[in-house]
Chains A and B, each alone.
Chain A
Amino acid sequence: MGGHGYINEHPVEMFYRDNRLNPIHEGTTGIQSLDLLTRKVPMNKMQGYKATLHEIVKTLDEAKHYSSLQPMTEQLSEALATLSTTTEAVLTAMATKNIDLALSNSVKYLELFGHVIIAWLWLKQSIVATKALAEKPHQADVHFYQGKLQAAQYFYRFELPEINVWSKLLTQTDSTSFDMQPEWF
């Protein structure tokens, strides 16, 4: 919206301010990421983690029937493999290294997992859109479903690849934040 989005004649600047509390209250992003790594992932022999991955695999199997979704399907399979190796590396670091160091990039883990989940939901939306387009809907719906597929493509091409940067930091137990000293600020 350019400058018009920066002034209070339009509500978007209020939306922006209103949302600023959400990463803080009811448990900050940092706390959520520690909850995920120290409790939710290892809990009950990784039951929740495995159940979640299983849901994603089910969608991947379904998506294989649609040739136009092949690139997304392949990319999500790779992302799932990245998530698995990253999880293994972080859990190993938590068991063998200084726990404060091993958890120091936990937010990046939560972001990585979040991106995989959102990518999964975009693939699910793409399957629905692809099926609906095959039924030759009316023009307004053609636009709607094409928009879904284009947004999914955007997420896969512009956003999902970011997990590779985060995965590298996590698997190598990058110590940049951990090593920083209060006196150095």
Chain B
Amino acid sequence: MPATLMNERDLEFLLYELFDSEGLITRERYQDHDRQTFNEVINTAKTIAEKHFLPIRQKLDTEQPTFDGTKVHIVPELKTAISAVIESGIGSATADYDLGGMQVPPIIASAAGAFLSVAGGVGMGYNMLTTANANLLQAHGSDELIDTWVKPMREGRFMGTMAMTEPGSGSGLGDLITKAVKGDDGTYRISGNKIYISGGDHDLSENIVHLVLARIQGAPKGVKGISLFVVPKFLLNDDGSIGEDNEVALAGLFHKMGGRAQTSTALSFGEKNGSVGYLVGEENCGLKYMFHMMNEARIMVGTGAAVIAVAGYQYSVDYAKNRPQGRLPSCKDPLSPMVNIIEHADVKRMLLAQKAYAEGAMALVLYGTQLSDDEHTADTEELRQHAHTLLDFLTPIIKTWPSEYGH
């Protein structure tokens, strides 16, 4: 049954009636845009979603990525679909013009992304992680790191991950033991094992930029001794072309109950000589930087959950309106036509619950997304600070409420 991907009337309501997204064009950053260009971005995403992702959605779920000992194999159509996103510019729509972006407001990019994530399951996760990774480096990395790694990620040539979890340290990051040793040239040698690294290996991009949390030799115990490094899968030659293998080995893939299009990997860093790592910011401040990405990732998680809830609700409504079954309790005539199940009071109750959760969650995540924009682009410093205060406070709720109630 061809159910619509998103409730477009509701998105229009949220963007333009509940939140004044059209008013954003008065801000300098968005002065080239208007409601029409916003809708073009959303429609482009919708077209790619319907053309490239929807046809492979079930395949991505049933044919999980495999590892033959040397290479990861992913349903090949995914690469085509992701390329279509990158070529359209949607993948880095919010980025600055001079970094290859379109300076689209995040709330519009989020609405556009909703179509892609419904149609593509988590196939879009590779792009989202890359964006979050690039944003972190842009905020905390040196100019050299930005030039070397952010640009190719914005262009879609490289993809990014965040490598935090270890076999002995997941939620409790203070206990992580991946090691970093400083070399004479100012770079570090990284060695250790990481697990559950989403997008940790694949053949969708020329290179993979891992952001790795590790402990420099002699650093304090606990969370105050953790530093952040860029550890690429391949080192680069002086001219920027792909160089030597950097000893980031895939130990294996995990097989998940959901989100199957995105590889979840066990990675082994630097088993022989140590993987080359480039320090981000200052030593022992890694967790602080990672939380930059983490807060953004938490909004994305909430958004992903809200979007799934909306999609499930949409699908259920479409089904209930078209499925005849039974009669109302008041009807005693077995020869009368059956009613569509949407007429039954308890089905209406369930759909109301779905609607209340899904559209409530969607309003929440778009509100959070707008705050994440306002903290940088609102008209006055006072408004920017206010948005920052609200977003910082609400992030645990924006992440959790849709995740827990979005089903």
Contacts and interface: CB of A to CB of B under 8 A. Distances in A.
A103 to B, nearest CB: 14
B257 A17 contact: yes
Given A16-B407, A18-B121, A19-B308, A26 B13 contact: no
A53 B61 CA distance: 42
B152 interface: no
A52 B402 contact: no
Given A29-B404, A124-B363, A155-B360, A110 B396 contact: yes
Contacts of B10: 144
A161 interface: no
A151 B258 CA distance: 29
B305 A19 contact: yes
A55 B390 contact: yes
A26 B293 CA distance: 10
B353 interface: yes
Contact of B319 (A1, A23, A158): A1
Given A12-B312, A51-B386, A128-B13, A19 B406 contact: yes
B361 interface: yes
Contacts of B61: 8, 14
A2 to B, nearest CB: 8
Contacts of B257: 17, 20
B396 A150 contact: no
B356 A159 contact: yes
Interface of A is mostly: helix
Which of A15, A55, A113, A155 has the most chain B CB atoms inside 10 A of its CB?
A15
A4 interface: yes
Contacts of A44: 389
A38 to B, nearest CB: 11
A52 B393 contact: yes
A77 B308 CA distance: 31
Leading 8 A-B pairs by shortest Cβ distance: A48-B393, A17-B258, A22-B403, A114-B401, A32-B396, A18-B258, A155-B356, A118-B360
Interface of A: 1-2, 4-5, 8, 10-12, 14-23, 25-29, 31-33, 35-36, 40, 43-44, 47-49, 51-52, 55, 110-111, 113-114, 117-118, 121-122, 124-125, 128, 132, 140, 144, 147-148, 150-152, 154-155, 158-159
10 contacts: A1-B316, A2-B341, A15-B308, A19-B305, A21-B256, A29-B404, A40-B396, A125-B13, A144-B10, A151-B360
